[in-house]
């Protein structure tokens, strides 16, 4: 061996060793091949006086010898409770007809009108198959089927990822195509037509109600395109950047929502069914940073979304994972969300004003802020399983888009804050 003093053997060897020991994350802790890994969770979501949801999830993952990964997930949701119908609160009792036309409900004075017959059970099946391909490529293909009493959603998706730079950089591109069909009980309402309220139970009512219907079902198509970049910065830090484009076309109106038409004094004259544009284009960027300190992990993300309905939203999400010395961990979570209103959003219409073709008073597309504060506590179980509890408080604060209240509307709450509690227990084995 012609090794001279100038050959820095130790230095060269250090470089080679670094490459071996840092790029190779294979270890005994890795999930054994050919075994199913299951995650189960049960979640409770409760809004004060409004919707309550209970959700059960069973997700299984199996990794095969050639690094193929199969994911299957079943979700069952049961929703009950009341949901805002879009009308404004009034100084007097109001009467509304249920979307089915088979009943009516009354709303007390000064209360936000809620349709209290909101209940549904949803079954969702999700599956995906991930397959390494020649030379650092990974291909994933998946599907989703979701069925509710009056709603069906079917989608397919595919993603191709390529690793570069010894797997320190991953670039991916994917798409998803979804078909959704809605078939509400009582049919679809005619846009901007007046909700039939008077003479409920009579044949006149039935005839009038029938005139507000335009069909039994409609559908929409959604195409999503996604570009992603994941970069390992160093042994402790990983950054992810995503851009997504979404194009939705078809029936985007909510058939259960109305808009109040009020007179100059703010008194409701009637409620008309809302209507939304038949297409929506969204652009979103997402950035996430995960960094590992000695025994904590910081996970911070930011998302910006803008669409041609003129809704712009910002989401900031922070999680801080802290390991305790007994193997347990605590993870506080804070999320802040803010959005601007859709251009066709209005809390109500004043009689005599010209009415645009597109109009909605749904607070969910109005201006709003939302906060989440939560904490998760997890612990390993003897057998290698893990158990975790999550408790979160969520506050949604709709805000005025600048529309000035008139007359009696000054005395009622037009933008009611919603508080919710989320509790979850999850078990992985």
Partner 1 sequence: MIREVECTKRDKGYAIIFDAMASPCEVLIDSPEQWLASLIGEQVAGEAWRIEDKYSRYQTTSVCGQLNANAGKKCPIDSETFHLLQFADQCYQLSDGLFDITSGVLRKAWHFDCSDNIPSQQQIDRLLPFVGWQQLEFDENHLQMQQGMEIDFGGIGKEYAVDKAILLANQVIAQHAKNSVPVLVNFGGDLAVNGPRDKEQAWHVGVEHPSLAAHSTMVVTIKQGAIATSGDAKRFLLKDGRRYSHVLNVKTGWPVENPPKSITVAAPKCIQAGLLATLALLQGKNATKFLKTQDITHWQIS
Summarize as ranges the residues that interact with partner 1 (CB under 8 A): 1-5, 7, 9-10, 12-14, 16-17, 19-21, 23-24, 26-29, 134-136, 167, 292, 294-295, 323-327
How far is residue 424's CA from residue 426's CA, in Å, rounded to a whole number? Answer: 6
In the bound state with partner 1, the residue whose beta carbon lies nearer, of 26 and 404, is 26
In the bound state with partner 1, the residue whose beta carbon lies nearer, of 20 and 404, is 20
In the 8-state DSSP scheme, what is residue 365? G
Least distance to partner 1 from the beta carbon of 334, Å? 23
> Pick from 398, 396, 399, 400: which is nearest to 419 by CA?
396
In the bound state with partner 1, the residue whose beta carbon lies nearer, of 21 and 404, is 21
Least distance to partner 1 from the beta carbon of 235, Å? 10
In the bound state with partner 1, the residue whose beta carbon lies nearer, of 218 and 331, is 331
In the bound state with partner 1, the residue whose beta carbon lies nearer, of 143 and 380, is 380
How many angstroms separate the Cα of 365 from the Cα of each of 88, 108, 338, 342?
Answer: 15, 25, 11, 6
In the bound state with partner 1, the residue whose beta carbon lies nearer, of 22 and 357, is 22
Least distance to partner 1 from the beta carbon of 365, Å? 43
Answer yes or no: are the C-beta atoms of 366 and 345 closer than 8 Å. yes
How far is residue 88's CA from residue 56's CA, in Å, rounded to a whole number? Answer: 35
Least distance to partner 1 from the beta carbon of 190, Å? 60
Least distance to partner 1 from the beta carbon of 131, Å? 14
Tokens read off for 97: 């007809």
Torsion angle of alpha carbons 23, 28, 33, 39, nearest 10°?
A: -100
CB atoms within 10 A of CB 8: 10
Torsion angle of alpha carbons 184, 187, 192, 198, nearest 10°?
A: -110
């Amino acid at each position: 061996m012609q090794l001279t003093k100038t050959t820095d053997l130790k230095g060269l060897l250090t470089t080679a060793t670094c490459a071996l020991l840092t790029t190779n994350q294979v270890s005994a802790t890795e999930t054994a091949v050919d075994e199913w890994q299951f995650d189960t969770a049960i979640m409770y979501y409760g809004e004060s006086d409004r919707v309550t949801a209970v959700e059960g999830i069973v997700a299984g993952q199996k990794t095969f010898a050639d690094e193929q990964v199969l994911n299957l997930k079943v979700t069952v949701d049961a929703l009950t409770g009341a949901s805002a119908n879009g009308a404004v609160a009034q100084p007097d009792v109001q009467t509304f007809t249920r979307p089915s036309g088979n009943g009516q409900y009354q709303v007390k004075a000064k209360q936000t009108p809620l349709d209290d017959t909101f209940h549904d059970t949803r079954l969702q099946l999700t599956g995906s198959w991930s397959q390494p391909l020649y030379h650092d490529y990974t291909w994933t293909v998946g599907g989703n089927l979701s069925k509710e009493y009056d709603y069906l959603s079917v989608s397919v998706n595919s993603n191709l990822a390529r690793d570069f730079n010894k797997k320190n950089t991953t670039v991916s591109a994917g798409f998803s195509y979804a078909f959704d069909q809605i078939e509400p009980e009582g049919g679809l309402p005619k846009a901007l037509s007046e909700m039939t309220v008077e003479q409920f139970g009579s044949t006149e009512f039935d005839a009038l109600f029938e005139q507000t219907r335009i069909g039994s079902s409609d559908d929409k198509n959604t195409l999503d395109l996604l570009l992603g970049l994941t970069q390992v910065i160093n042994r402790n830090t990983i950054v992810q950047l995503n851009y997504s484009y979404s194009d939705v076309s078809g029936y985007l109106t909510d058939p259960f929502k109305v808009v109040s038409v009020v007179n100059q004094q703010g008194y409701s004259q009637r409620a008309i069914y809302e209507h939304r544009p038949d297409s929506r284009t969204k652009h979103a960027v997402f950035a996430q940073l995960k960094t590992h300190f000695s025994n904590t992990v910081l996970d911070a993300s930011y998302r910006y979304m803008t669409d041609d309905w003129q809704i712009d939203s910002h989401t900031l999400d922070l999680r801080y994972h802290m390991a305790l010395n007994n193997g347990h961990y605590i993870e506080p979570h804070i999320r802040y969300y803010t959005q601007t209103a859709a251009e066709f959003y209005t809390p109500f219409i004043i009689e005599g004003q010209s009415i645009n073709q597109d109009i909605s008073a749904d607070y969910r597309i109005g201006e709003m802020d939302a906060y989440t504060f939560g904490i998760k506590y997890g612990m390993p179980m003897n057998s290698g399983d893990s158990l975790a509890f999550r408790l979160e408080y969520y506050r949604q604060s709709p805000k005025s888009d600048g529309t000035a209240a008139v007359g009696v509307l000054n005395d009622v709450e037009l933008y009611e804050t919603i508080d919710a509690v989320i509790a979850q227990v999850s078990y992985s084995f």
